[in-house]
Amino acid sequence: MAVGIFDSGLGGLTVLDAVQKRMPDLPLLYYGDNAHTPYGTRVPDDIYNLTTAGVQALFDRGCDLVILACNTASAAALRRMQEGWVPEGKRVLGVFVPLIEALTERNWGDNSPPRQVAVNDVALFATPATVSSRAFQRELAFRAIGVDVEAQPCGGVVDAIEAGDMILAEALVRSHVEALKRRMPRPQAAILGCTHYPLVEDVFRDALGEDVAVYSQPNLVAASLDDYLQRRPEMLGSGKPGFLTTGDPKSVEAKATLFLRRKISFEGVE
Name which residue leads in pLDDT, 240 or 225: 225
CATH level 3 topology of 97-217 = Rossmann fold (3.40.50)
φ and ψ of 245, to 5 deg = -150, 145
CATH number of 3-94+218-268: 3.40.50.1860
φ and ψ of 4, to 5 deg = -85, 140
pLDDT beyond 90 at 153: yes
Percent of the chain with pLDDT over 70: 99
Count other Cβ atoms within 10 Å, centred on residue 182: 8
End-to-end CA distance of the chain: give it in Å, rounded: 22
Mean of the pLDDT values across residues 34-50? 91
pLDDT the model gives residue 112? 82
Count other Cβ atoms within 10 Å, centred on residue 103: 22
- What ranges do the domains of the chain cover? 3-94+218-268, 97-217
pLDDT confidence band for 108 (50 / 70 / 90): low
Which residues are paired to 122 by β-bridges? 149, 189
pLDDT the model gives residue 265? 93
76 vs 73: CA distance, rounded Å: 5
Catalytic positions, written as ranges: 70, 194
237 vs 10: CA distance, rounded Å: 23
Name which residue leads in pLDDT, 257 or 210: 210
Name which residue leads in pLDDT, 147 or 108: 147
pLDDT beyond 90 at 37: no
pLDDT confidence band for 247 (50 / 70 / 90): confident
Same topology, domains 3-94+218-268 and 97-217? Answer is yes
pLDDT the model gives residue 109? 66
160 vs 10: CA distance, rounded Å: 13
Structural contact between residues 256 and 16, judged by C-beta atoms closer than 8 angstroms: no
For residue 155, with 0-12 CB atoms within 10 Å meaning exposed, 13-18 middle and 19 or more buried, which class applies?
Answer: middle
Q: What is the pLDDT of residues 43-102, one digit of tens each?
A: 999 999 999 999 999 999 999 999 999 989 998 999 999 999 999 999 999 998 888 888
pLDDT the model gives residue 55? 98
pLDDT confidence band for 1 (50 / 70 / 90): low
30 vs 67: CA distance, rounded Å: 10
59 vs 146: CA distance, rounded Å: 39
